[in-house]
Amino acid sequence: MNKFVRGGLTLLLAAVLAVVGAFWLSGVSKKSAPEPQIFGSVSESEPAAEIEAEEVPDTPPDTGSFTDSRGAVTYRTATIGGKTWLAENLRYQAKGSWCYGGDSTNCDKYGRLYAWSAAKTACPAGWHLPARLEWLALSEAAGGEEASGKRLKAKKGWDENGNGSDWYGFSALPGGNRHPDAGDFGYAGSIGFWWTSTEYDGGNMYIRTMNYSDNDAGESYTGKNGGLSVRCVRDD
Q: How far apart are the C-alpha atoms of 62 and 88, rounded to whole Å? A: 15
pTM of the model: 0.79
State the Cα torsion 79-44-195-32 to the nearest 10°. Answer: -130
For the chain, what are the domain ranges? 63-234
Rg of the chain's alpha carbons, rounded to an integer? 24
Which positions ≥6 away from 168 have C-beta within 8 Å?
57, 61, 62, 78, 80, 142, 151, 152
pLDDT tens column, 61-103: 999 999 999 988 999 999 999 999 999 999 999 999 999 999 9
CA 180 to chain centre: 15
What is the predicted pLDDT for the residue at 181? 85
What is the predicted pLDDT for the residue at 150? 96
CB–CB of 104/186 below 8 Å? no
Kind of pairing between the strands at 177-178 and 204-211: unpaired
Q: How far apart are the C-alpha atoms of 7 and 1, rounded to whole Å? A: 10
Helix H or strand E encompassing 40: strand 39-41
pLDDT tens column, 175-225: 999 998 889 999 999 999 999 999 999 889 999 999 999 999 999 999 999
State percent of the chain over pLDDT 70: 77
CB–CB of 94/113 below 8 Å? no
Q: How far apart are the C-alpha atoms of 206 and 132, rounded to whole Å? A: 7
Mean pLDDT for the chain overall: 83
pLDDT tens column, 52-67: 454 677 788 999 999 9
pLDDT tens column, 6-35: 444 344 344 433 433 333 233 322 222 223
